[in-house]
Amino acid sequence: MHVIIAGNDEDEGQEAVRKIKEETLNEKVEFIHCDLASMKSIQQFVQQFRVKNCPLHVLVNNAGVMLVPERKTEDGFEEHFGVNYLGHFLLTNLLLDMLKLSGTHSHNARIISVSSAVHYVGELHLNDLQSRYSYSPHGAYAQSKLALVLFTYLLQHLLTAEGSFVTANVVDPGVVDTDLYRHVFWAVRMVKWITSWLFFKTAEEGASTSIYAAVSPELEGVGGTYLYNEQRTKSVDISYDEELQRKLWTESCKMVGISDISICL
């Protein structure tokens, strides 16, 4: 595979490229800057990718922030909702035509979005998606992860309705030992440090279900599923609400300034 790592940290991105090349001897690995907290950066990334004239067989939406203090992205979105959800929503929609051109009947292109088990306790506040009236880091994080599940299910419905050879699935990586926890209370960080070997997955273990969703022959042509530990699992009941899915999609299109393709179906 030709692998492109999109990220907002040039040094970390280039270090990841170096390690992958060293360990796999695959020279077709590169880094392109993309900050999901900036719609301008996302658009610039897509332009750079298009210039390469590469096919796009797999898109993994994996960026995220967790439990950050109340603050806004460059475009004025609440950071959890803006980075975890809207950034991926815009990126996916801007790359959708390339995914459709790359997928075939026997080899569907695949979209994988990384959610979390916390979506089970999430609530989607359509009248306050930016958490302006009542901000809770936990509530905002959970809402962003629920939004990813709702988005994935409607996206798959739209792709199926138009006969596209593209599938969309959502992944729960489990509790993974990463830097996402740097904003939690110090006592929680101490407990995490002490118990991580017992309760937390390594980054490699956490990535396994995303990799399964990206390359497993078992999922060829299969979309609209929630995956945990490489198994199809039921997501929270509200995530299957088609009316809620459509309302979120329509509102998301307005927020990022793109056409709403869902109204055509």
* Of 85, 133, 135, 141, catalytic: 141
212 is catalytic: no
Burial class (CB in 10 A: 0-12, 13-18, 19+), 185: exposed
**Which of 201, 209, 217 shows the shortest CA–CA distance to 169?**
209
**Residue 155 is encoded by which pair of tokens?**
């996206």
**Which of 231, 224, 78 shows the shortest CA–CA distance to 150?**
224
User: Is 145 within 8 Å of 116 (Cβ atoms)?
Assistant: yes
Residue count of the chain, please give it. Answer: 265
How far is the C-alpha of 126 from the C-alpha of 81, rounded, in Å? 12
State the pairing for strand pair 58-61/109-114: parallel
CB atoms within 10 A of CB 20: 17
Catalytic residues: 141
